[in-house]
């Protein structure tokens, strides 16, 4: 179930991590100067919401590109452009961190950990506190396990839900069904591969 963070006390967490995967047109941003957000747009919108709600908290946007042959700007650099467009550059000048090297979830955690360690050096009192993690609901279980494996405690903030709480048995959508099965298999294969390679611990 989705946790309630509506009344979350800022003292209860160290900062915010937003995973890439929502920005689909990195080359569009570099060529046209316009940010193009894809199907997982809630990762970005929820991230911006939390940044505004907790302006004193550090945040990390983590992501280079998931493309085989990336073009244009990194997702992190595009998000930085979006922060500028939203008029948040000055307000986040001391809290913003853009990780623009990672190509997958494991690298998201590895490179974010380096940034977090630097933040802890400046604010050692935050070391025992968890981080809010924003990513798609289908991606959250694997992401949480990967970050926890790196020693980063997580409060999950799942977004981009693809189903409601109840199944609509009267509705039949072959295209959507195939899409959801593909998403499910992608996550199961990812979980199995990461467990076998020691990148997560399920037990």
pLDDT score recorded for residue 77? 92
pLDDT digits (tens, 9 = 90+) for 164-175: 777 665 666 666
Specify the long-range contacts of residues 146-150, CB closer than 8 Å, at least 24 apart.
146/105, 146/106, 146/108, 146/109, 146/194, 146/199, 146/200, 147/17, 147/108, 147/109, 147/112, 148/201, 149/109, 149/199, 149/200, 149/201, 150/109, 150/110, 150/112, 150/113
Sorted by where each starts, the structural domains of the chain and their CATH numbers stand as 11-163 (3.40.50.620)
Query: What whole-number distance in Å separates Cα of residue 49 and Cα of residue 51?
Result: 6
pLDDT digits (tens, 9 = 90+) for 103-114: 999 999 999 999
pLDDT score recorded for residue 66? 57
Please compute the mean of the pLDDT values over residues 127-138 and round it to a whole number.
95
Please compute the mean of the pLDDT values over residues 21-35 and round it to a whole number.
66
Query: What whole-number distance in Å separates Cα of residue 118 and Cα of residue 147?
Result: 16
Paired with 77 in beta bridges are none
Of residues 70 and 42, more confidently modeled: 42
Please compute the mean of the pLDDT values over residues 98-102 and round it to a whole number.
96
């Amino acid at each position: 179930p989705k946790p309630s963070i509506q009344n979350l006390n800022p003292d209860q967490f160290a900062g915010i991590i937003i995973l890439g995967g929502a920005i689909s047109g990195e080359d569009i941003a570099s060529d046209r100067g316009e940010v193009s957000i894809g199907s997982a747009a809630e990762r970005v919108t929820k991230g911006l919401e939390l940044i505004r709600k907790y302006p004193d908290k550090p945040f990390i946007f983590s992501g280079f590109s998931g493309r085989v042959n990336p073009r244009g700007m990194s997702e992190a650099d595009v998000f930085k452009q979006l922060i500028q467009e939203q008029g948040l550059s000055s307000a986040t000048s001391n809290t913003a961190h853009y990780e623009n090297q990672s190509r997958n979830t494991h690298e998201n955690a590895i490179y974010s950990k380096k940034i977090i360690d630097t933040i802890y050096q400046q604010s050692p009192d935050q070391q025992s506190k968890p981080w809010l993690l924003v990513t798609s609901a289908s991606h959250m279980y694997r992401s949480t396990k990967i970050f926890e494996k790196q020693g980063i405690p997580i409060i999950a903030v799942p977004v981009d839900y693809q189903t409601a709480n109840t199944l609509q048995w009267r509705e039949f959508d072959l295209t959507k069904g195939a899409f959801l099965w593909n998403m499910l298999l992608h996550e199961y294969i990812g979980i199995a591969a990461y467990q076998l390679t020691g990148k997560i611990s399920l037990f």
